[in-house]
Amino acid sequence: MLNKKYLPNTLSIIRIFITPIIIINFYLSSYLDDIVMTYRINGILFFIASITDFLDGYIARNFDMESNSGRILDPIADKILVSSILIMLVKFNKAHEIPCILILARELTMSGIREAMADHKIQIPVSGLAKMKTFLQMIAILALLIGSKGSNIPQLDTWGNYLLWIAAILTIVTSIHYLFFVVDALNSQKSDSHGI
């Protein structure tokens, strides 16, 4: 029986395992007659993965199940999911390249910055704007995965790309915000050390 304290990590692992299934479906869509079904399945799988992303953090915070392994596993699962799918969306000409590149570059950069700040005992808080960016990004990816063919909504591909551009713009804004936070935190830490 699963130990309850490992539930958040289990949800993160589920998210990781969903990712290759979605990738395989992308390639299967080129060979299957029922392409609409593969789009819809990918949409459902990504929706489930997005729910696990919300639930693992919520459960860990509200039911005293936070762990060091969870703090590492959760962002890794997020990056594997989002990065892989954005690459697939570009590869299969379903998403514009530039917003995807901006989002991927930000994810990689922020991972490095967070790791570097951890060495200085500085934790970077997640801003409200960053949460909005993540929400819009998830909606955009879901829309692009299902697409106009999978939903019978003619403009869904266009709307998905619009949302992806908005998420990319917020990506730039939040990156600048975090950069200022890091500089201020390092300067404050430096001042405190000189005052000792």
pLDDT band per the 50, 70, 90 thresholds, residue 172: very high
Q: What angle do CA 172, 83, 112 make, to 5 degrees?
A: 60
pLDDT tens profile 12-49: 999 999 999 999 999 998 787 778 999 999 999 999 99
Q: Residue 174: its pLDDT value, please?
A: 94
Q: Please tell me the predicted confidence (pLDDT) of residue 124.
A: 84
Please write the tens of the pLDDT for every residue from 49-80. 999 989 988 888 888 888 888 888 888 999 99
pTM of the model: 0.90
**Residue 155 in this model has a pLDDT that exceeds 80:** yes
> CATH top-level class for 4-186?
mainly alpha
Cα distances (angstroms) measured from residue 117 to each of 35, 82, 92, 109: 45, 23, 37, 12
Q: Where are the domains of the chain?
A: 4-186
Q: H/E/C letters for each residue in the chain? A: CCCHHHHHHHHHHHHHHHHHHHHHHHHHCCCCCCHHHHHHHHHHHHHHHHHHHHHHHHHHHHCCCCCHHHHHHHHHHHHHHHHHHHHHHHHCCCCCHHHHHHHHHHHHHHHHHHHHHHHCCCCCCCCHHHHHHHHHHHHHHHHHHHHHHHHCCCCHHHHHHHHHHHHHHHHHHHHHHHHHHHHHHHHHHHHHHHHC
Helix axes 128-151, 68-91, angle to 10 degrees: 40
d(CA 145, CA 156): 10
